[in-house]
Amino acid sequence: MRKEFPACPVEITLQLMGNKWKVLIIRDLLEGTRRFGELKKSIGSITQKVLTQNLREMEESGLLTRKVYPEVPPKVEYTLTKTGYSLKPILDSMYAWGTDYKDKLSS
């Protein structure tokens, strides 16, 4: 079954990046593989339920992979896929714009 996409490519990108949590997850995973607890600690105010939900959605979208190690307690690692990593230029642009905006308002 083919997935239906919006006609506008910008809307497709927004659907995948979705919300501030997904952007922050991508930001953290751009630095490399992270465990669930590392992501939760880095992002800070996100709840476990919301982090889990966003990670699942991102995995279903093909932005990241989830690797579970058969240990007690379970060890789970998340890594960006090539598609997920291809969002780096967008985040770099957001970073540059945010820095410039902050500097203008602070002057």
User: How many domains, in total, are found in the chain?
Assistant: 1
Spatial separation of the C-alpha atoms in residues 12 and 8, rounded to whole Å: 7
Residue 49 lies in a domain: yes
Q: What is the CATH number of the domain that holds 16?
A: 1.10.10.10
Domain that includes residue 60, residue range: 9-106
Burial class (CB in 10 A: 0-12, 13-18, 19+), 49: exposed
Residue-wise pLDDT for 73-97, tens only, equals: 889 999 999 999 999 999 999 999 9
For residue 66, how far is the Cα from the chain centroid?
13
> What's the pLDDT at 1?
62
Write down the mean pLDDT value for the chain: 92
- Angle CA(97)–CA(54)–CA(11) in degrees, nearest 5? 50
Residue 2 lies in a domain: no
